Amino acid sequence: MDRTSKTLQTYLLAAPQTLVLLLFLVLPIAMIFIVSFWQFTGFSMEPGFTLDNYTAIFSSDVALRTFINTFKYVVLVWSLTLVIGYLVAYFLAFYVEDKRLQILLFLICTVPFWTSNIIRMISWIPLLGREGLVNSLLLNAGLIQQPLEWLLYSDFAVVLGMVHLYNFFMIAPIFNSLMRIDRNLITAAEDMGASGLQIFKEVILPLSAPGIAIGSIFVVTLVMGEFVTVRLMGGGQSASIGKLIQTQIGSIQYPLAAANAVILLLVTMILVLAILRVVDIRKEL
């Protein structure tokens, strides 16, 4: 087979994947970008080119506060999932020696994914509600005099729900990175007199950084576009860009929703690129 035939065969093999990518990713994003410049008359959309949608977003205090609130969710959820995910992954990788038990415990981490997101969110209501289990226990124990209102339909509930939903996306890549670490490196560090903290800082943490980066990308991108959890757990008291876009779509403000979606996509891409600049994840791929 000559060089031209090999090149043609390579392009043919890549053609189906490229076509799917163009049809289901590039084309929809391009359409959203185009619609973001259309004009909304209050009753219908008019194709054209206008910057009014972007001007309205950047000049709106509501949009600015919503973006800030979304960033707050990203930081809180990322921080909590990183701490919880790393501790769980570290325990599974270094403290559970039986491979079968290790696999079993890892599969237990996937239990929340055995049902839908909505059902998982609704399950928190009888637990955190005004007359829920937590408030009942605290009242019966005499620790509080009246039910805690902030347990449900608050930013606390939104963050708790997101951590519950997305914690596994941090556990899995970190666990994979920790399992790839050559244990001989740890043994060599111990032979050289390194303490446990030094081994963690100089060996384990740097080698698990790609897993942290991949998990961070998963969590950040998921939280940035989240709206179901904000609606169910926030009870209308919390806001995010995803929820704002959903509301605008519901009121047929498609150009404004598209403009918000474009800005959200750009901000998310900047965050992902920032993570990739800090950590090289090619070792994990």
The predicted structure's pLDDT at residue 93: 92
Residue 260 CB partners (closer than 8 Å, separation 6+): 57, 63, 241, 244, 245, 248
Is-contact 31 261, C-beta < 8 A? Answer: no
Instruction: Please provide the distance, in angstroms rounded to a whole number, between the alpha carbons at the two ends of the chain.
Output: 31
Would you say the C-alpha torsion 34, 36, 37, 41 has a positive or negative sign?
positive
Q: Which domains, from first to last, does the chain contain?
A: 62-284 (1.10.3720.10)
Beta strands in 11-139 (DSSP E): 39-40, 45-46
Token digits of residue 244: 């704002």
pLDDT of residue 28: 92
Return per-residue pLDDT of the chain as tens, 285 residues: 567 777 777 778 888 888 999 999 899 999 999 999 998 877 777 888 889 999 999 998 988 999 999 999 999 999 999 999 999 999 999 998 888 999 899 888 888 778 888 888 888 888 888 888 898 998 888 888 888 888 888 899 999 999 999 999 999 999 999 999 988 999 898 888 888 889 999 999 999 999 999 999 999 999 998 888 898 888 878 889 999 998 888 888 899 999 999 999 999 999 999 998 888 776 555
* Assigned token pair, 105: 């415990």
Contact call for residues 68 and 147 (beta carbons, < 8 A):
no
